[in-house]
């Protein structure tokens, strides 16, 4: 159960059918450090239902419930806003419909020193605000 990119632990989850077109696989995983999303099988992880996935392993303020999966998939797409813009917008909308405040969640993650994504979370938060 480790990220193929950085070797850190992952949180694996089943992606709801409505979000699968934006996911690496029907069973996906997010790295607890670099925030990349991959197929759960690529990380050697067994996916669980979204409500059973422990996203707090990423950060204690990580969203919960139905919005957590959409938000996790957003994080996996933030490395390239230009290429992933339609997916990011659709996933942000899905997360917000499920009760997740995407901007607030990104703000909280931006201050987490244990995270090491390939992008600046705070800068991405500001960029997202400009096109939403």
Q: Over the chain, what is the mean pLDDT? A: 96
For residue 69, what is the enclosing H or E element?
helix 66-77
pLDDT band at 132 (very low <50, low <70, confident <90, very high): low
Token duo for residue 14: 């089943």
Taking residues 69-91, report their average pLDDT. Answer: 97
pLDDT band at 70 (very low <50, low <70, confident <90, very high): very high
Longest dimension (CA), the chain: 37
Query: What are the pLDDT digits (tens) for 2-18?
Result: 999 999 999 999 999 99
Residues 6+ apart with CB under 8 A from 125: 103, 106, 107, 110
Report how far residue 16's alpha carbon sits from residue 19's, in angstroms, rounded to the nearest whole number: 6
State pTM to two decimals: 0.96
């Amino acid at each position: 159960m480790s990220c193929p990119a950085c070797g850190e632990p992952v949180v694996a989850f089943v992606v709801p059918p409505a979000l699968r077109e934006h996911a690496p696989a029907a069973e996906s995983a997010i790295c607890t450090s670099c925030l990349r999303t991959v197929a759960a099988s690529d990380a050697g992880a067994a996916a669980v239902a979204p409500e059973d996935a422990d996203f707090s392993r990423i950060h204690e303020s990580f969203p919960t419930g139905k919005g957590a999966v959409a938000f996790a998939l957003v994080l996996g797409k933030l490395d390239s806003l230009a290429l992933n813009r339609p997916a990011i917008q659709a996933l942000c909308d899905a997360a917000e419909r499920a009760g997740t405040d995407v901007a607030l969640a990104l703000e909280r993650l931006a201050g987490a020193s244990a995270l090491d994504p390939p992008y600046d979370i705070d800068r991405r938060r500001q960029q997202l605000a400009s096109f939403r």
